[in-house]
């Protein structure tokens, strides 16, 4: 069967959407605080509306790749840093 995983296949590295959303919110807030930027300033610098960023931080919206890149640029980090787990 195509795409099926064998029962003994490792699950290391498998994450769900909820975990990614939580990591994104935590990392955006942490990086903004480290750089002494308000969430409003991050949104403005990333060319996002405050409402869009608020929805991302509340876990109510999934970011596009473009949005992740914009946030990373605004926060001075790599996009993968935004999804990194603690």
Other Cβ atoms less than 10 A from the Cβ of 2: the count is 3
Domain coordinates in residue numbering, the chain: 17-83
Q: Give CA–CA dist 10/76, Å, rounded.
A: 34
pTM: 0.81
Which of 45, 16, 14, 49 is closest to 32 using CA atoms?
45
Q: Does domain 17-83 have CATH number 3.20.20.220?
A: no
Contacts of 83 (CB under 8 A, 6+ apart): 20, 23, 24, 27, 68
What's the pLDDT at 8? Answer: 56
What's the pLDDT at 7? Answer: 55
pLDDT digits (tens, 9 = 90+) for 16-57: 899 999 999 999 999 999 999 999 999 999 999 999 999 999
DSSP-derived secondary structure letter, 63: P
Which pLDDT band holds residue 3 (cuts at 50, 70, 90)?
A: low
What's the pLDDT at 16? Answer: 87
State the DSSP string of 51-62.
Answer: HHHHHHHTTSSP
Mean pLDDT computed over every residue of the chain: 89
Is the confidence at residue 5, as pLDDT, over 70? no
Please say whether the dihedral angle defined by the alpha carbons of residues 84, 35, 77 and 70, taken in this order, is positive or negative.
positive
């Amino acid at each position: 069967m195509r795409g099926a995983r064998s029962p003994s296949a490792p699950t290391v590295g498998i994450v769900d959407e909820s975990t990614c959303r939580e990591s994104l919110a935590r990392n955006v807030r942490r990086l903004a605080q480290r750089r002494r930027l308000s969430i409003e300033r991050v949104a403005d610098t990333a060319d996002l509306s405050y409402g869009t960023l608020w929805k991302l931080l509340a876990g109510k919206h999934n970011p596009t790749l473009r949005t992740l890149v914009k946030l990373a640029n605004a926060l001075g980090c790599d996009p993968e840093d935004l999804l990194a787990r603690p």
